[in-house]
Amino acid sequence: MCGRLTQYRGIHDFVAVLSIPDALINHVGDAPLNRYNAAPTTTLAVLHQHEQRMYADNLRWGWRPHWAKDRPPPINARVEKVAHGPFFRAIWRNRLIVPVDNWFEWVDAGDKNKQPWLIRRADHEPVFCAAIGQFPTPGTDAREDDGFVIITAESVGGMLDIHDRRPVVLRPDLVREWLDPATPVERAEQMLLFEGEPSEAFEWYKVGKAVGNVRNQGAELIEKVA
């Protein structure tokens, strides 16, 4: 996963798919998010649960432990290591969801250039990426090093032609279980390893190279090119 994604619908459009029984505690606003070219270090909308309430908050994409100041904050965590390695131990239990519309990958075009591709669900529904992070909860203050990482797995099927890694995407009916603090960590790991959406759930197509510049924004970036 190369590290570029979109969040352009409104947070209520994402949450509506989840059939949440209680009202969302919304700290990101009601307007469309309109992020067509979000890069690492960007502040993105995330979903997390505290006790029995779901919250929508803005959080920076990227996190590292306090003792790893000699390296840039990672934006992704490999599913093969995230549950047991020391690097993400402090946030492994802090589960969240990054709701996105699409993500982008770049493929070698054979002419010393790379062709960007957009990947989205084949049914065009929201994509719920499993993530972990450090974030404030009710009664606690935000910290300068708050942030999140998206959990990735090896690509399978046709998606291998686009990139060898992919975000772990959860079905809507699994999102609440993933977010629930009462879900055991063993069950959470099982969900990541065995219950992510298969490549058949997605489609992909070429988009214009303007998406390579993070300063470019707008709906034209997600349009299909020949």
CATH topology of domain 5-222: hypothetical protein yedk fold (3.90.1680)
- Give dist(CA 217, CA 137) in Å, integer: 31
Tokens coding 22: 């209680």
* pLDDT tens-place string over residues 94-104: 999 999 999 99
Tell me which of 2, 189, 200, 220 is the catalytic residue.
2
* pLDDT tens-place string over residues 139-177: 888 999 999 999 999 887 777 778 889 999 999 999 999
- Give dist(CA 48, CA 130) in Å, integer: 11
Residue 32 has pLDDT above 80, yes or no: yes
- Give dist(CA 14, CA 30) in Å, integer: 11
Q: Which pLDDT belongs to residue 138?
A: 87
Length of the chain: 226
- The residue type at 24: L
**What are the domain boundaries of the chain?**
5-222
Strand ranges (DSSP E) for the chain?
Answer: 5-7, 25-26, 35-38, 43-50, 53-60, 76-78, 95-100, 102-108, 114-121, 127-134, 147-154, 165-167, 202-206
Tell me which of 105, 200, 203, 223 is the catalytic residue.
105
Other beta carbons within 10 angstroms of residue 127's beta carbon come to: 25
Catalytic-residue membership of 2: yes
